[in-house]
Amino acid sequence: MKKILFWIIVFSSFISLTFAWDWNLPWISIISRKERWVDETIRFSKLSYAERKAWINSKSEEDMKRLEETDIDAFLDKQKQEYITEMRNDYLVSNYPSEQTVDNQVFTYNNNFLRWPQSYHYNKTKVIVHHTAGDTSAFTGKESVITYLQDIYKYHTITKWWGDIWYHFLIDPYGNIYEGRAGWEWVIAAHTSRNNSSALWISLMGNFDKQELSKEQYKALISLLTALAKKYNIDPNVRTDYFKATTEAPYMKSVENYSFAGHRDAWVTSCPGVNVYKLLPEIRKTVISNLAKWVLVSYTSTLNSLPTIKQIQSWEWLSKWLDMIKNWQPEFDKVVESLRNTYLSSHKNISLATVSSQKIQEKITPQEAKNMLEKNISVLLYELSTKFTKWNVSCAGKCIFDADGKIYTAVTWNIEIVEWWLLLTLPSHKQLVSSLKVTSKINNVVTITNYKRTSLAKIARNSFYGQLLFTKDTLKNLTTSKFEDAYVVVNTLPFKSYLKGIVETNDTEHAEKIKVMNIISKTYALFYLSEKNRHPSIPEGSTYQAIDSPDMFQKYVGAWLEKTLKKVPLLVQNMENQIAIYSGYIPILPYFSCSAGFTWSAQQKRWWTDTPYLQGRIDFEKCSDFNGHGVGLSGKWAQYLAKQWWTYKQILQYYYPGIEVINL
């Protein structure tokens, strides 16, 4: 009971630490109204708001009577303006009520009546950037800025009768951020008619039609926007509504723009200046990247605050651990959606799925997977099947080959295609055959000596465990994407030996990354060994179940890997009975090399509706673009996470939420 209570305290403490700043912005230094010497008495009135409103209404009625007697044109114009205002308000309240509501009002401050009540709207959906448009060249430091702010405050509060300064925040050329309107961010500011309630307003000090944004201002703006986006759950790239006046009924229209926008997007103005406005696309991308980093850092902290799989003594604890990780999915979804939208805006030719499909045709149980691990697998050697018409073969000791049922032995032999037959050339004679099976008599390794494929270290990758089969079959042409009949070369070997020949990783990578690749490459192959889950690159009735090409299946290089590497084969052997399962069956676990900053969900890219564990994920070890299909695990980022002390199980659960690693 004490142990359970301890972890509940750990969980709740972490959540409190992580999200406490959601009620303010403590990780951003903001100069308060008190620190910038605001004279709050300027906002005060001798009369209450209700008394002043009654007086104004009474006064306007007298004015209207007088106008009616002396200036009929002015009276009619005033009536028209009131009519237009009423129509605009009715249009907005009827069509966009959530954007216009006032959730609360405060009429006094320290027992003093306010000239303008502090109104609050608790659903902020957009952030608008302004500039003050004033000359800041005379600034000599923070004190001169504060004097400038006091002038703005008096102008907005007294001269313009707006009750307080327009903006929620202001940023000076030195990167200092100042609290603007009293009441903090929830308060409704007074900046752009009919766009006030749901918007947060930031004003940059300066005239950015004439000057450039300072580096300090830019950095402060990014930090503040990131904090506000997180606090109010605002996606910078989401399109939202703004409201502009028109000259025809209903005298108001909605216009769509980004949730992070400039003042000109909501009003007829040049604000925030051309030199700031042109930076907004870059600013949105930077904020999205910052949000992604925040989510991932917090997620990593969550993992580090929880017990490891080894420390968890029961399935009950494992379930609690996985549920905690699952809670992060909404955070990932928000950030990945922003990253995806940014990517799609600059990649117009990207093809996403439009038709839903079921990927899993047959659910393989762990027991069935265990049986598969004990059997052979047949792998099409694509390059040997498509670019060769002649093969020179040798074995240590002697090769044993079956030529249409006749058994021969020889140290070396040649075979070539002759008019849809195979011409076998032995030291003693030549023979035409329709198919040929070859195995090694001594070390079970067959070598194609004229296959010049090598590793980066120039070591030959032309030897294969088990049997090589030369026969007629159908294969998919990578160039044309069509299925063609051809003589193919198929390597049949024990499944566990096949795993030692997959080169999706190497000894230079972190051990936890190697373990990850072992689990997913093994699970990937097991999934496709099912007849109903046949891989789309493998035709019906073929003699093979896998392909050695990473463009179609997995990168398999035969006996070379085990003979050259040490760490990879050893880890593969140590984990030979471990597999991944999802809801009690073998899942499909796709992977690729490198992403453009995020991964696609399977539903977005493939429209698979039955693989809910294939979600979009954040990825900072990105390439300039996707190197691969982009669904599942990104190899480059998995390597980075392994270096950050993530275990292979944590990495797998990050990319494939909901899966488990079990021992058969």
Q: Is the dihedral of CA 362, 368, 370, 374 positive or negative?
A: negative
Position 3 confidence tier, pLDDT thresholds 50, 70, 90 = very low
Across the range 251-255, mean pLDDT stands at 81
Position 317 confidence tier, pLDDT thresholds 50, 70, 90 = low
Q: Which residues pair with 471 in a beta bridge?
A: 488
Q: Taking a C-beta distance cutoff of 8 angstroms, is the pair 200, 124 a contact? A: yes
Residue found under tokens 């997977």: 369
Distance from chain centroid for Cα 26: 26
Q: What local confidence, expressed as pLDDT, does residue 634 receive?
A: 94
Strands 30-31 and 177-179: parallel
Q: What local confidence, expressed as pLDDT, does residue 23 receive?
A: 32
> What is the DSSP code string of 336-361?
HHHHHHHHHHH-TT-----S-B---S
Q: What local confidence, expressed as pLDDT, does residue 306 receive?
A: 61
Best-predicted range by mean pLDDT among 6-20, 73-87, 137-151, 376-390? 376-390
> What is the DSSP code string of 464-480?
EESEEEEEEEEEE-TTT
Tell me the pTM.
Answer: 0.71
pLDDT at residue 386 greater than cutoff 70? yes
Residue found under tokens 């000057």: 211
Q: Report which of residues 26 and 502 the model is more confident about.
A: 502
Best-predicted range by mean pLDDT among 128-137, 272-281, 455-464? 272-281
Q: Return the H-helix or E-strand segment holding 257.
A: strand 252-258
Across the range 502-530, mean pLDDT stands at 92
> What is the DSSP code string of 23-92?
GS-TTS-EE-TTTTT--GGGGEESS-HHHHHHHHHHHHHHHHHHHHHH-HHHHHHHHHHHHHHHHHHHHH
- The CA–CA distances, whole Å, from 303 to 314, 416, 595, 651 equal 18, 57, 23, 10
584-611 pLDDT, tens digit per residue, is 999 999 999 999 989 999 988 888 889 9
Instruction: Show the tokens assigned to 441.
Output: 């008599």
pLDDT at residue 502 greater than cutoff 70? yes
Evaluate the omega torsion of the peptide bond into residue 569 and state whether it is cis, within 30 degrees of 0.
no
Across the range 464-486, mean pLDDT stands at 94
Rg of the chain over CA atoms, in angstroms? 35
Across the range 177-184, mean pLDDT stands at 87
432: helix, coil or strand?
strand
Across the range 43-57, mean pLDDT stands at 76
**Among 109, 3, 98, 112, which Cα is nearest to 47's?**
112
Q: What local confidence, expressed as pLDDT, does residue 55 receive?
A: 67
pLDDT at residue 638 greater than cutoff 90? yes
Measured in degrees and rounded to the nearest 5, phi and psi for residue 554 equal -135, 155
Instruction: Show the tokens assigned to 623.
Output: 């390439």
Q: Taking a C-beta distance cutoff of 8 angstroms, is the pair 309, 325 a contact? A: no
641: helix, coil or strand?
helix
- Give burial (CB, 10 Å; 0-12/13-18/19+) of 109: middle
Taking the C-alpha atoms of residue 536 and residue 551, their distance in angstroms, rounded to an integer, is 12
Residue found under tokens 């090399």: 593
Instruction: Show the tokens assigned to 157.
Output: 């509060």
**Among 526, 463, 530, which Cα is nearest to 491's?**
463
Query: What is the set of domains in the chain, with CATH numbers?
Result: 30-279 (3.40.80.10)
